[in-house]
Amino acid sequence: MPPPVQTPPPAAAAPVVRPPAGPADYVFPSGAGLVFYYVKTPKASDFEQIVGRIREALTKAESSMLKQQALNWRIYKSAEPATDATVFVFAFDPAIATASYDPLLLLAEVLPAEVQPLYDRLKDAVIKIERMGLTKIR
């Protein structure tokens, strides 16, 4: 008589692994946030031109959500002399907790014909991007 067929126990379902929120996550559920762009110093003027297009897109935005976001979207450039990177800071205070502050999404909606060339220039200029959600203390 042949031995009984043994079936292996069912495999446990693999846990779902989600990547941590990264620089591409431009949503600030805490109600305020900052995004730091570290730009190659020789490319700082190119990045400033891109910032000019972002400012224009914020001005031309027609959707009520983008108009509301534009009210509290501030852009700063480091005042200290640059070494290997010039830092640009995008500040959102208050931020709409459910809105995306991704400048490429803004450009895609308002200036769609320019998105790819601006993205290519942005990619060439930026060393790294850091995102920081903020909680108000005072």
CATH architecture of 33-133: 2-Layer Sandwich (3.30)
Amino acid at 25: D
* DSSP conformation letters of the chain: -PPPPPPPPPPPPPPPP-PPP-TT--B-TTS-EEEEEEEEGGGHHHHHHHHHHHHHHHHH--SHHHHHHHHTEEEEE--SPPSSEEEEEEEESSPPTT-B--HHHHHHHH-GGGHHHHHHHHHHHEEEEEEEE-----
Cα 122–Cα 56–Cα 65 angle in degrees, nearest 5: 100
Amino acid at 103: P
What are the tens digits of pLDDT across the range 106-123? Answer: 999 999 999 999 999 999
Average pLDDT over residues 20-36: 77
Average pLDDT over residues 7-13: 53
Q: How far apart are CA 70 and CA 79, in angstroms?
A: 23
What pLDDT score was predicted for residue 84? Answer: 86
What pLDDT score was predicted for residue 6? Answer: 61
Question: Over the chain, what is the mean pLDDT?
Answer: 86
